[in-house]
């Protein structure tokens, strides 16, 4: 099992990034959260099977059709298993 904390930069707010990521997380069995940041980026924590976490990370590097991803910061963290689902935080 794996956990990563990511911050995604570019045109990632107002383009359905959080909703699309939630749908992708559900498909992959990923738990965690995603939220908009005041600086215009999007921040998320993903927990799940290593292969699923790698797939959602690759997806985040592209994002939904209207997004433009300029960069992704990734920090691997200790797996906690603390989440029961994947949620959009406000």
User: The pTM is what?
Assistant: 0.97
89 lies in a domain? no
Residue 87: beta bridge partners? Answer: 33
Active site annotation includes 89: no
Give me the mean pLDDT over the 64-90 stretch. Answer: 97
Total domain count, the chain:
1
Tokens of 10: 């570019």
55 lies in a domain? yes
Which entry of 36, 84, 85, 89 is annotated as an active-site residue? Answer: 36
CA 49/CA 39 separation, integer angstroms? 30
90 lies in a domain? no
85 lies in a domain? no
Domain of residue 57, residue span: 2-78
84 lies in a domain? no
Cα–Cα distances (Å) from 50 to 3, 40, 46, 57, 76, in that order, read: 8, 28, 10, 11, 11
25 lies in a domain? yes
Q: What pLDDT was estimated at residue 62?
A: 97
Question: What CATH number does residue 7 fall under?
Answer: 3.30.70.100
Q: What pLDDT was estimated at residue 32?
A: 98
Q: What's 26's DSSP letter? A: H
CB atoms within 10 A of CB 62: 10
Active site annotation includes 18: yes
């Amino acid at each position: 099992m794996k956990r990563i904390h990511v911050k995604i930069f570019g045109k990632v707010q107002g383009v359905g990034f959080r909703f699309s990521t939630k749908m992708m997380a559900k498909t992959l069995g990923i738990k965690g959260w995603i939220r908009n940041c005041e600086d215009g980026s999007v921040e998320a924590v993903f927990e799940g099977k290593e292969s699923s976490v790698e797939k959602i990370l690759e997806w985040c590097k592209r994002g939904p059709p209207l997004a433009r991803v300029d960069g992704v910061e990734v920090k691997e963290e200790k797996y906690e298993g603390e989440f029961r689902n994947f949620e959009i935080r406000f």
